[in-house]
Amino acid sequence: MASLIELRNILRRDERASLLSLSLESHSELGAVEAMMRVWEQKGRVRRSAPAADACGGCGGCTKGCPPAQIVFEWLGD
């Protein structure tokens, strides 16, 4: 299972990554990765991006119900 530091290092390196890619690269369950990313969001280090409106057929204004490959996190810096 990944640590907060491991996920931070992946995002520092790549700048942006999907929930699915973070899960695969860190060999961790999607739910665990999403919970850890919420910690970084609360600290103001990560921003969660919604997919474009035409990517899922929705409004593009939220990330609820989106497939893990479409939920993208961006590292904002230290």
* pLDDT value for 69: 78
Query: Structurally, how many domains does the chain consist of?
Result: 1
Domain that holds residue 30: 4-75
* pLDDT value for 39: 97
Task: For the chain, give the secondary structure using H, E and C.
Answer: CCCHHHHHHHHHHHCEEEHHHHHHHHCCCHHHHHHHHHHHHHCCCEEEECCCHHHHCCCCCCCCCCCCCCCEEEECCC
* pLDDT value for 28: 96
* pLDDT value for 78: 81
* pLDDT value for 57: 56
* pLDDT value for 40: 97
- CATH code assigned at 19: 1.10.10
Pick out the chain residues at pLDDT < 70.
51-65
